[in-house]
Homo-oligomer: A and B are copies of this chain.
Amino acid sequence: MQQLIDYIERFVKLSSETINELKELARLETYEKDEYILEAGRHCNKIWFLKSGMVRKYYVHDGKEITVWIHTENETFTSLQSYAQNIFSEEYLQACENTELISISKSDSEKLAQNAQIMTFVNAMMGKEFSNIDKHSKELNQRDARGKYEYLNQIALEIIKRAKLGHIASILGISQETLSRIRKF
């Protein structure tokens, strides 16, 4: 839990009351490798903080799994469209390794929304998340296969080091054979 507090305090200093509130609302969840945190067709009503392990976000298009992103330690994530707009998720969230998460449910986070410190954090986090997606989509849409790989290597080394080749290739929108060839120069 301290890990989550440290993470939030990189955005905003928390009072001890806020910390206590957080501690009451946050839940520890553990998942085995390959277990689902969220499946498509369900409502996503949580935000998660990744304590340890790795989580893959993907959706299915024409029967093929398209990996959107892979999250590693000390990141927050959710299925944003479903969470923000109360619609069914099109995305799956699956543990790629044994994983520990801290979750805050939507109803609970709405209680926290009364708290200005938490709102500052949530806004900063959302702004950052938004900027990231905006940036990634630009970078990945314009570069060639090697350029995409180098970009990912710069901004998300953990993914490159730990994720499966096929999943990385899918994030980049290239075939895994091409990625394999890029890797050995």
The residues of B that contact A15 with a CB separation of less than 8 Å are none
Number of copies: 2
What distance in Å separates the Cβ of A159 from its nearest Cβ neighbour in chain B? Answer: 16
How many A residues face the partner with a CB closer than 8 A?
A: 22
**Is A31 among interface residues, defined by CB-CB distance under 8 A?**
no
A133 touches B131 (CB 8 A): no
Q: A80-B130, A84-B130, A84-B131 are in contact. Are A140 and B138 (CB under 8 A)?
A: no
Contact, CB under 8 Å: A142 / B61: yes
The answer, yes or no, to whether A115 is at the interface (CB within 8 Å) is no
A156 → B minimal CB distance (Å)? 16
| Contact A131–B85 (Cβ < 8 Å) | yes
A131 in contact with B66 (CB, 8 Å): no
The answer to whether A68 has its CB under 8 Å from any CB of chain B is: yes
* Residue A141 at the chain B interface, CB threshold 8 Å: yes
Cα–Cα distance between A150 and B29 once the two chains are bound (Å): 42
Residues of B within 8 A of A59 (CB): 138
Q: How far is the CA of A54 from the CA of B85 in the complex (A)?
A: 28
A-B residue pairs in contact (CB < 8 Å), sample of 16: A59-B138, A61-B142, A66-B138, A68-B138, A80-B134, A81-B134, A81-B135, A84-B131, A126-B130, A130-B130, A130-B133, A133-B134, A137-B140, A141-B141, A141-B173, A142-B173
By Cβ-Cβ distance, the 9 closest A-B pairs, closest first, are A137-B137, A84-B127, A141-B173, A81-B131, A130-B130, A133-B134, A140-B141, A142-B173, A66-B142
